[in-house]
């Protein structure tokens, strides 16, 4: 396997706080710090969830603007993949997509409803249609998050309706209680459903992260790692940073002879529009905390 690989770091998420790990970044300033260090370690893509200064997850456009501006002010040119999730159930409907006003190159597109712990993460099909239109109007590429095989089929239905266009960028989210399991069989089955030219990676939770990272590297996919998905470096040992998890994947990719791509190379592979640095970032002012 010699194809180059994209590493994505998901640095905080919308679940968990300091009681889960003291290393999980919970403020906008710490999220910026972790994003920049993960990029320097080898992550070409940074997946961003926003938090309020007290650590509360939020879909506030202003908080996303603050984090994006802070990352760019540090000279970090990583692809920023902003979340259109529900901030742990705090945001609903199209308010989740307010951040698309920032015109990110890439954003998450949760492609179906799923039991998420004790709640339902709602993504009904009419909402997905509206969300796809909003992505197109913003010029933002969707990363299609699939918590189950049925979500792949929903993405293909949106493609048939010309609401999603090739190349499709799939992220299989495996190991969530209520979603598909993080097994080799499940991963390969979901991969078998996607178009031949589709781009794919796996987000695996907890102790499954390292195994699914390795499967992606061997199987020709791309890799997601980070404290959003897994707080541990090894059994009983908390990861100290996102950069530590990224560094491990870089070493694995090198061992398995897959070259790690830089952000500009990742933009080419992901078929992203070039960021209009002067205008889009000028429109994203830092918000005082």
pLDDT along the chain (289 residues), means of 10: 90 89 97 98 98 96 98 98 96 97 98 94 98 97 98 98 98 96 98 98 97 97 98 97 98 98 98 52 38
User: Do the beta carbons of residue 246 and residue 9 sit within 8 Å?
Assistant: yes
Q: For the chain, list the domains and their CATH numbers.
A: 7-282 (3.20.20.70)
User: Do the beta carbons of residue 98 and residue 266 sit within 8 Å?
Assistant: no
Name every residue whose Cβ is closer than 8 Å to that of residue 53 and which is 6 or more positions away in sequence.
27, 28, 289
Determine the pLDDT at residue 120: 96
Determine the pLDDT at residue 1: 52
Determine the pLDDT at residue 240: 98
| Integer angstrom CA distances of residue 8 from 39, 58, 195, 263 | 9, 21, 22, 10
Cα angle 34-270-201, degrees, rounded to a multiple of 5: 70
List the end-to-end C-alpha distance of the chain, in Å, as a whole number. 46
Sign of CA dihedral 86, 76, 174, 152: positive
Determine the pLDDT at residue 30: 98
| pTM score of the predicted model | 0.93
CB atoms inside a 10 Å sphere around CB 169: 23
Question: Which residue bears the tokens 């712990």?
Answer: 117
């Amino acid at each position: 396997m010699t194809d180059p690989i994209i590493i994505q770091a998901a640095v905080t998420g919308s679940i968990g706080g300091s009681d889960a790990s003291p290393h999980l970044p919970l403020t906008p300033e710490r999220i910026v710090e972790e994003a920049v260090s993960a990029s320097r370690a080898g992550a070409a893509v940074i997946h961003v969830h926003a938090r309020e200064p007290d650590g509360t997850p939020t879909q506030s456009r202003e908080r996303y603007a603050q984090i994006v501006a802070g990352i760019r002010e540090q000279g970090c040119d990583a692809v920023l993949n902003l979340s259109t999730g529900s901030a742990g159930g705090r945001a609903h409907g199209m308010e989740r997509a307010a951040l698309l006003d920032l015109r990110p190159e890439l954003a998450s597109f949760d492609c179906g409803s799923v039991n998420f712990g004790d709640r339902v993460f709602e993504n009904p099909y009419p909402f997905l249609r509206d969300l796809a239109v909003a992505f197109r109007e913003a010029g933002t590429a969707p990363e299609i998050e699939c918590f189950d095989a049925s979500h792949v089929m929903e993405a293909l239905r949106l493609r048939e309706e010309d609401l999603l266009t090739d190349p499709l960028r799939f992220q299989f989210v495996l190991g969530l209680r209520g979603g598909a399991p993080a097994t080799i069989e499940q991963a390969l089955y979901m991969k078998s459903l996607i178009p031949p030219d589709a781009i794919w990676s796996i987000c695996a939770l907890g102790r499954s992260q390292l195994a699914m990272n390795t499967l992606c590297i061997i199987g020709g996919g791309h890799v997601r790692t980070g404290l959003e998905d897994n707080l541990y470096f090894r059994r009983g040992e908390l990861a100290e940073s996102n950069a530590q998890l990224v560094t491990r994947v870089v070493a694995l990719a090198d061992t398995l002879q897959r070259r790690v791509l830089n952000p500009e190379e990742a933009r080419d592979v992901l078929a992203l529009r070039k960021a209009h640095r002067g205008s889009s970032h000028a429109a994203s002012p830092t918000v005082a905390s």
